[in-house]
Structure 1
Amino acid sequence: MAGTARRPLLVLLLVAGAAAIAESKPYAPADRVLLNCGSATDSLDGDGRKWMADTNDDTWLTDSGKSSLMMAADRMDNGLPSTIPYMTARVFTMEAVYNFTVNPRDRHWVRLHFYPSSYNGLAPDGFHFSVTTSTGLTLLRNFSAYTYAKALSQAFIIREFSLPPTPAGFLSITFTPMPVGNDTYAFVNGIEVISMPDLFSDPATMVGFADQTVDIAGAALQTMYRFNVGGMYIPPSNDSGLTRQWYDDTPYVLGPVQGVIYRAGPHFQLKYPSEVAEYAAPPEVYLGTRSMGSDPRLNQNYNLTWTMPVDCNFTYVARLHFCELLLSRPNQRAFDIYVNNKTAQSDADVIGMTTEKGVPMYKDFAVSVADEPGDEAMWVALHPSVALRPQFYDATLNGLEVFKINGTDGNLAGPNPDPSRLLAKAELGAGDEGVPRTHGHRNMGTVMGGTAGGAAALGLVAAICVEKKSRELAAAGGSHTSGWLPLFHSHTSNKSSGHLAANLAGMCRHFSFADIKVATKNFSESLVIGVGGFGKVYRGVVDGDTKVAIKRSNPSSEQGVHEFQTEVEMLSKLRHRHLVSLIGFCEDAGEMILVYDYMEHGTLREHLYMGGKPPLSWRHRLDICIGAARGLHYLHTGAKYTIIHRDVKTTNILVDGDWVAKVSDFGLSKSGPTTVNQTHVSTMVKGSFGYLDPEYFRRQQLTDKSDVYSFGVVLFEVLLARPALDPALPREQVSLADYALLCQRNGTLKDVIDPAIKDQIAPECLKKFADTAEKCIGEQGIERPSMGDVLWNLEFAMQLQDAFEGGSCGGRRPAGEGSGTAGRSAAALEPSNSNGSAASVTTLETSSTTRPPHEACIIVEENDDEVANSAAFSQLVRPTGR
């Protein structure tokens, strides 16, 4: 048996775990004012928080509101999270002041909410204003919410500030309109003033100056970024009373290698030390992590890096949150921390600093960003320590926050952008100059509209000044896209037809970006149903009542363009019952968005583990495996040329409302050999580690047997209900393929089968299934069966299961999943040799999917006479839809 050393255990792997639940004591603020500006009634927002009408108390506004107008928005954008506080506004034509009595000992969050709509006919671009405080701070200067929201295609913007205690116990916030032509208006939809605990009492270490620190205890701060590293969005209601919002960090991870995501198990308990308050970050932040992975050679050759554009001429504090979840001894994992290419800390060892696992901690590092081209971003990078020679060459991070510190003049406002240039690009989309209106990732968008809304202003500036840094990275072999206005891919920006060639663009329905925004409620976080290498996947509705899955590209990866083209090309030409169907696409304004049939029951992985769903029965799992095998067999033999999927895994096997399995995600797919004499395709290695064919990895020679290997891992995953790679397990169990193979050859496989199905499997069925999986993961491709043979064997395994249960297979399976083999004897299904002809497989589905047709797609037939005459590979021939 081959040990784990011979298989590539690299990264780019999602190791998701059931979210652990840790109790934390919620913070109870002394002051908690949520003003629904311009409203006459108190109301609850979408999170159940009560907002008071700013007419409740005549003291809120200095002149009791007499010099201002209460207005309602003329329309509601689908991207708003709630009507409260965004559908009413207080509009000012002259300087106006809101007054708040506050606890003089407390710091306070001040959050300003803006929905740039037209109000009673006032155009949204007519509002330009500054915001200052009675403590001498400038929060916003010449601010145009419309400019930022329009350029970023966001419905609303929130600015969050942390203000130091006010000894007088009084805080005022002044709105000052700025002239725009003959008009001058200011507005605000909502204001939050909430006490917060003292999270900034300790000074931050000044990066590059070992003996210097920055006192942030008395500083005013603006929240620029707040990431739940390796995790999903955390709403204010889940933040221990501090009402912060934490966002997914994925779009800001630089480079193609984004590490391993790990979640602690359901019984993991955090142990807060006395110096770290339980509300420093929500437990969910500390219970998940992004690390580099298990390959020491790979890890020593790259940094795990986050890049975040910021304003020049300010000092920033980067707060890094750590909590060791797996290791328990010092020097098992040590790493260096870099901020803006300077060493912030060498040989950081979380266990060394906390003495045991499960103990949260954070470190603050300060850095100044000068006004120099190419120096307009915050870079946080981790690299394994070489000096300490730790047991594992790895690095890890749980959470990341970035705050801007006010200048000596009390200013927090960023430089005034040039709205005309940016708005022109916003209206016209991506032109030859390269900055699109919105090519942003969903997370970036929610950061703009969420707590880190202060970043929107920076984005407009960063879009202009990030160019030099991008060129430097490109020269160094890296890639960079702005976190604010991601740059259009340079090699496609001059094409009039965008990413797709004209012949491909005519194959499927073209959705406008406005259509997609409506379908996803402006990419609402609540509609996110998955995250992949290409980007976020949203649930949506088009044409009034048609449910769809909408996949929006993550612009931080240059390979997205190629994957987008490949996906449209492949799925526009292919139609099969067990392949997910592409309805259409959108490439407006630099976006790359794909629209698919909605798969009601999600991914296969969700039904095996880490999805919180009831476990599937053995028969149901086997049905799904058979369906997926049909889809892959069709790819290998049913089109003009062999198509190699190259990323077969349980997250790419979806299940629709009728429990029909469908293979998805063709972004990495590759056409196979085109001539008889050609045995492979030479190409760079791509795929998901844990499923990656070791022969392909070593030789960079891709064949259809690479898909067979990956599918073999899927079969064992179905049987054992555990991830393909799990770094938390003992070394011999990390790789599912190696561990399952060891158990299979030792005769102990039955002992590690998922307990939920262990007693349901017929012994003969288990033997046939396990033998098939074992052959699939043979070390060399020539040892592996074809997908036709795999399909034969799985069908035969089903017949053995039927015989064991004492009945035929007919009527036993979920709708649409009959094998088509009822009435045939088990013996008749056994292949006569190990290389059975694919053409002899007569059990493939020949009917179209049971879902109603989408008339948006035109079916393109592959003219292959050898295949066209076989009912086994029937394609739909209706030219108007499938």
Structure 2
Amino acid sequence: MPSASSGSPSANSPSSWSTILTKHMAAVAAAVLALALMLVVVLKYCLNRKNRRMQLRSASPNILLGSAMCHFTLEQVQAFTSHFSGASLLGRGGYGCVYRGVLPNGEEVAVKRLDVGSGQGESEFLNEVKKINQVHHKHVVSLVGYCREGSERILVYEFVPNGSLESHLRGGGQSTLPWEARMRVAVGSAKGLAYLHEDCHPTIVHRDIKAANILVNFDFEANIADFGLAKSASESNQGESRPVGTFGYVAPEYALGGELTPNLDTFSFGVVLLELITGRRPVGSTHNSLNDNLVYSTRPYLTQALEDGNFDSLVDPRLQNNYNPSEMARMVACAAACVRESAGCRPKMSLIARVLEGHQSAADLDDGTGAGPSNLDLEDGNSNYREPTGGYGLPCPSGSSSEGPSCQTARDLEMGRM
């Protein structure tokens, strides 16, 4: 009699194992596909979360200094300045008020809130945001962020706690700035300018280098500030009917409508060096005389001092001869080279920095200190000179120097009132 199972395949037959294996492979494939789909969904979710966090971070003040610049909301700026309270006020300048702020991460910042209709217009505001966001250097003030909301125009800088070089040279009640500090400021600011001129692409010309725009910390490390007038060297003067800058610091060839080059910053830096050496202002109280202009009145003494090594006729009497003679010789040589009449004969700022530090001989600055005064009319009122405000746009200190008032408006200079 035939077996009962003779009509159906055995459980151990090859066809049964093939069917089972096929089902298992299909199940595994389905599981793998489901897992892959789930991973895709999770990955997409994570990427969306990351993008969202980046968007939020771009509007958040809770970032470290030196990272990407932020666009702050007005509400955020009000929060970290205590709603622009009087207790946070650092000072008032021609363009508005500057406040001290503290970000949620504990970092201090300086907040410049421009007055509506202030002298610093929309173009200067946007120019400063654009230019300073391109630079990242130890000796250049960083722009942490900005606020552009409604009529509000606000710039948020890193906080430099010890004021400007101007305030230390001539601030009321300030002790005499010692030689070591002067030398440190000179070296640091020279390095900052060398970076702008030689390491930035395209080259950035500051156009308003002055003692008030060099900020210092408690170790007198220098930081170049205020890029409202800065331009790339590739940009021409097109659209400008008058040169810009601050009276007493502007290179003669630029004041007469010359080409925009780094040499004009070099000249201005030379004036700063002369201020560090002599303690005098770029212009005195009777600006209608070449003898009252720091560059032209000191040129003969620079030449003589470099020849005989005697700096008594130049040095700030408040130093009481407390300075390093070899360092003084290097600073005098650099100042003389920077303020040469011929722009093409002025050295690069990297060379100036190396000579100031003593890493290169002053002889490498080449020969001569210029051909004497130019035909620049110091009473000419046709230049768009700025008021000498400080690094965050704050006014210069009043002081009590006999050299004349510390702040002179462009209009007063033009009218011969000071």
The TM-score bracket by the shorter chain reads: 0.5 to 0.7
Question: Given residue 512 of structure 1, which amino acid in structure 2 is its aligned partner?
Answer: T
Question: Given residue 587 of structure 1, which amino acid in structure 2 is its aligned partner?
Answer: R
Q: CA RMSD in A?
A: 2.7
**Mapping of 1:106-255 within 5 angstroms?**
none
User: What residue in structure 1 maps to residue 158 of structure 2?
Assistant: 597
TM-score w.r.t. the length of structure 1 is 0.32
Choose which of 179, 184, 189 in structure 2 pairs with 1:623: 184
Report the structure number with the largest CA radius of gyration.
2
Question: Given residue 768 of structure 1, which amino acid in structure 2 is its aligned partner?
Answer: R
Cα 1:628/1:611, change in 2 over 3 Å: farther
Cα 1:544/1:792, change in 2 over 3 Å: closer
User: What residue in structure 2 maps to residue 769 of structure 1?
Assistant: 331
Q: CA deviation at 1:718?
A: 1.1
Q: Distance in 2 between matches of 1:532 and 1:566?
A: 19
Cα 1:711/1:660, change in 2 over 3 Å: same
Would the aligned equivalents of 1:602 and 1:656 in 2 still touch at CA under 8 Å?
yes
User: What residue in structure 2 maps to residue 703 of structure 1?
Assistant: 261
TM-score w.r.t. the length of structure 2 is 0.64
| Residues 568-608 of structure 1, C-alpha deviations (whole Å, 9 max, x = no match) | 11222211111111111111221111111111111111111
Whether 1:712 and 2:273 are equivalent positions in the alignment is: no
User: What residue in structure 2 maps to residue 614 of structure 1?
Assistant: 175
Greater Cα shift, 635-644 or 523-532: 523-532
Choose which of 214, 218, 222 in structure 2 pairs with 1:661: 222
User: What residue in structure 1 maps to residue 315 of structure 2?
Assistant: 753
Partner of 1:764: helix, strand, or coil?
Answer: helix
Cα 1:513/1:730, change in 2 over 3 Å: same
Q: CA deviation at 1:525?
A: 4.4
Partner of 1:592: helix, strand, or coil?
Answer: strand
What is the number of equivalent residue pairs in this alignment?
A: 295
Would the aligned equivalents of 1:795 and 1:829 in 2 still touch at CA under 8 Å?
no
Choose which of 357, 371, 374 in structure 2 pairs with 1:795: 357
Whether 1:741 and 2:299 are equivalent positions in the alignment is: yes
Cα 1:553/1:767, change in 2 over 3 Å: same
User: What residue in structure 2 maps to residue 276 of structure 1?
Assistant: none
Whether 1:585 and 2:146 are equivalent positions in the alignment is: yes
Q: CA deviation at 1:752?
A: 4.4
Q: Distance in 2 between matches of 1:612 and 1:638?
A: 39
Whether 1:690 and 2:248 are equivalent positions in the alignment is: yes
Q: Distance in 2 between matches of 1:729 and 1:640?
A: 38
Cα 1:691/1:528, change in 2 over 3 Å: farther
Would the aligned equivalents of 2:162 and 2:217 in 1 still touch at CA under 8 Å?
yes
Partner of 1:760: helix, strand, or coil?
Answer: coil
Question: Given residue 227 of structure 2, which amino acid in structure 1 is its aligned partner?
Answer: F
| Residues 180-226 of structure 1, C-alpha deviations (whole Å, 9 max, x = no match) | xxxxxxxxxxxxxxxxxxxxxxxxxxxxxxxxxxxxxxxxxxxxxxx
Query: Relative to total residues, which structure has the larger strand share, 1 or 2?
Result: 1
**Mapping of 1:382-531 within 5 angstroms?**
508-531=69-92
**Mapping of 1:8-47 within 5 angstroms?**
none
Question: Given residue 605 of structure 1, which amino acid in structure 2 is its aligned partner?
Answer: E
Choose which of 99, 110, 134 in structure 2 pairs with 1:573: 134
| Residues 211-264 of structure 1, C-alpha deviations (whole Å, 9 max, x = no match) | xxxxxxxxxxxxxxxxxxxxxxxxxxxxxxxxxxxxxxxxxxxxxxxxxxxxxx
Would the aligned equivalents of 2:96 and 2:118 in 1 still touch at CA under 8 Å?
no
Q: Distance in 1 between matches of 2:206 and 2:93?
A: 16
Would the aligned equivalents of 2:287 and 2:293 in 1 still touch at CA under 8 Å?
no
Would the aligned equivalents of 1:601 and 1:657 in 2 still touch at CA under 8 Å?
yes
Would the aligned equivalents of 1:789 and 1:834 in 2 still touch at CA under 8 Å?
no
Gaps in structure 2 of 5+ consecutive residues: 1-66, 368-418
Cα 1:787/1:509, change in 2 over 3 Å: same
Q: Distance in 1 between matches of 2:295 and 2:364?
A: 27
Q: Distance in 2 between matches of 1:515 and 1:763?
A: 51
Would the aligned equivalents of 1:564 and 1:667 in 2 still touch at CA under 8 Å?
yes
Cα 1:647/1:531, change in 2 over 3 Å: farther
Question: Given residue 324 of structure 2, which amino acid in structure 1 is its aligned partner?
Answer: A
Cα 1:550/1:733, change in 2 over 3 Å: farther
Would the aligned equivalents of 2:347 and 2:365 in 1 still touch at CA under 8 Å?
no
Partner of 1:696: helix, strand, or coil?
Answer: helix
Q: Distance in 2 between matches of 1:535 and 1:720?
A: 32
Question: Given residue 775 of structure 1, which amino acid in structure 2 is its aligned partner?
Answer: A
Q: Distance in 2 between matches of 1:659 and 1:681?
A: 35
Gaps in structure 1 of 5+ consecutive residues: 1-505, 675-679, 797-820, 822-827, 836-882
Percent identity among equivalent residues? 34
User: What residue in structure 1 maps to residue 59 of structure 2?
Assistant: none
**Mapping of 1:225-304 within 5 angstroms?**
none
Would the aligned equivalents of 2:207 and 2:245 in 1 still touch at CA under 8 Å?
yes
Q: Distance in 2 between matches of 1:524 and 1:516?
A: 12
Cα 1:659/1:771, change in 2 over 3 Å: closer
Would the aligned equivalents of 1:605 and 1:611 in 2 still touch at CA under 8 Å?
no
User: What residue in structure 2 maps to residue 546 of structure 1?
Assistant: 107
Q: Distance in 2 between matches of 1:533 and 1:637?
A: 32
User: What residue in structure 1 maps to residue 232 of structure 2?
Assistant: 671
Q: Distance in 1 between matches of 2:68 and 2:127?
A: 13
Cα 1:779/1:582, change in 2 over 3 Å: same
Cα 1:721/1:526, change in 2 over 3 Å: farther
Q: Distance in 1 between matches of 2:87 and 2:139?
A: 28
Q: CA deviation at 1:834?
A: 3.8
Q: Distance in 1 between matches of 2:192 and 2:95?
A: 22
Q: Distance in 2 between matches of 1:770 and 1:565?
A: 38
Q: Distance in 2 between matches of 1:736 and 1:832?
A: 25
Q: Distance in 1 between matches of 2:104 and 2:366?
A: 49
Whether 1:537 and 2:98 are equivalent positions in the alignment is: yes
| Residues 785-825 of structure 1, C-alpha deviations (whole Å, 9 max, x = no match) | 111221122112xxxxxxxxxxxxxxxxxxxxxxxx6xxxx
Cα 1:742/1:833, change in 2 over 3 Å: closer
Q: Distance in 1 between matches of 2:207 and 2:157?
A: 20
Q: Distance in 2 between matches of 1:755 and 1:833?
A: 27
Question: Given residue 170 of structure 2, which amino acid in structure 1 is its aligned partner?
Answer: Y
Partner of 2:244: helix, strand, or coil?
Answer: coil
Question: Given residue 743 of structure 1, which amino acid in structure 2 is its aligned partner?
Answer: Y
Partner of 2:157: helix, strand, or coil?
Answer: strand
Cα 1:554/1:781, change in 2 over 3 Å: farther
Q: Distance in 2 between matches of 1:759 and 1:687?
A: 33
Cα 1:832/1:608, change in 2 over 3 Å: closer
Cα 1:658/1:761, change in 2 over 3 Å: closer
Query: Relative to total residues, which structure has the larger helix share, 1 or 2?
Result: 2
| Residues 53-93 of structure 1, C-alpha deviations (whole Å, 9 max, x = no match) | xxxxxxxxxxxxxxxxxxxxxxxxxxxxxxxxxxxxxxxxx
**Mapping of 1:717-736 within 5 angstroms?**
717-727=275-285, 731-736=289-294
Higher relative contact order (CA 8 A, sep 6+): 2
Would the aligned equivalents of 1:536 and 1:552 in 2 still touch at CA under 8 Å?
yes
Q: CA deviation at 1:649?
A: 0.5
| Residues 270-298 of structure 1, C-alpha deviations (whole Å, 9 max, x = no match) | xxxxxxxxxxxxxxxxxxxxxxxxxxxxx
Q: CA deviation at 1:755?
A: 2.3
User: What residue in structure 2 maps to residue 563 of structure 1?
Assistant: 124
Q: Distance in 1 between matches of 2:94 and 2:357?
A: 32
Choose which of 320, 342, 357 in structure 2 pairs with 1:780: 342
Would the aligned equivalents of 2:243 and 2:257 in 1 still touch at CA under 8 Å?
no
Cα 1:831/1:742, change in 2 over 3 Å: closer
Q: Distance in 1 between matches of 2:342 and 2:171?
A: 32
Question: Given residue 292 of structure 2, which amino acid in structure 1 is its aligned partner?
Answer: V
Q: Distance in 1 between matches of 2:246 and 2:87?
A: 27
Q: Distance in 2 between matches of 1:651 and 1:524?
A: 25
